[in-house]
Amino acid sequence: MADESLAYRVRQFTAALHALVSDEERHLVAALLSPSEQRLFNQMPTYDQRHCLDVYYTLVAANHTDPILLRGAIIHDCGKVDDDGRPMGLLWYVAATIIKRLPALYLALAKEGYGPLRPLRVYAEHAWRGAHMAAQAGAPAEMVMMLRHYHDPAPQGRAALLQWADEQH
């Protein structure tokens, strides 16, 4: 299992290094999101944009048509951009993935995540942060709630669907 997990993470990291978003996909984003929601998408690095689009496509392939769910999927990781507009770097994803295997250490570092550890705090709080950013962007309350709760241990409704799709990637 550990070898499978490592291989999965290596594939995930390699895919992030080569992530692309096509012009057609940018048009899709523009057609589905409000201008303020588009700004949330656009401030994410390409690897997070790609991931969010992959989550969107997973939901579409599973025949989900709920516009709130699909729009939320496209911006669900916007909270990984810090308050100064800096996206979380790929190496911090690697660090967070490794540190999360030691939950007590991860929680302690994320709680005290200021200065050089700030990306860990942003990562740990990204669902809450993304919900807050979506609310400020004028997203519907249902989308804000979904974004706030999709990382809960037992999410309900749209948040559960988003969590399921997110876990596929």
Q: Which residues pair with 163 in a beta bridge?
A: none
What is the structure's pLDDT at 97?
84
Q: What is the mean pLDDT of residues 124-151?
A: 97
**Could you state, in order of their start, the residue ranges of all structural domains in the chain?**
2-167
Confidence at 17, pLDDT banded by 50, 70, 90 = confident
Q: Output the average pLDDT for the chain.
A: 91
Q: How confident is the model at residue 1 (pLDDT cuts 50, 70, 90)?
A: very low
Element housing 117 (H / E): none
Distances (CA, A) of 52 to 41, 101, 143, 166: 9, 24, 15, 8
- Give the bridge partners for 155, in sequence order: none
pLDDT digits (tens, 9 = 90+) for 83-131: 899 998 888 888 888 888 888 888 888 887 777 888 999 999 999 999 9
The per-residue pLDDT for range 158-167, each reduced to its tens digit, is 999 999 999 9
* The pLDDT of residue 9: 64
pLDDT tens for residues 43-67? 999 999 999 999 999 999 999 999 9
Average of pLDDT values for 119-144?
Answer: 96
Alpha-carbon distances of 28 from 10, 21, 41, 90, 101, rounded to whole Å: 29, 11, 12, 25, 37
Q: Kindly tell me if the per-residue pLDDT of 2 is higher than 60.
A: no
Scan for tokens 């519907």, then name that residue: 140
Give 92 or 25, the one with higher predicted confidence: 25
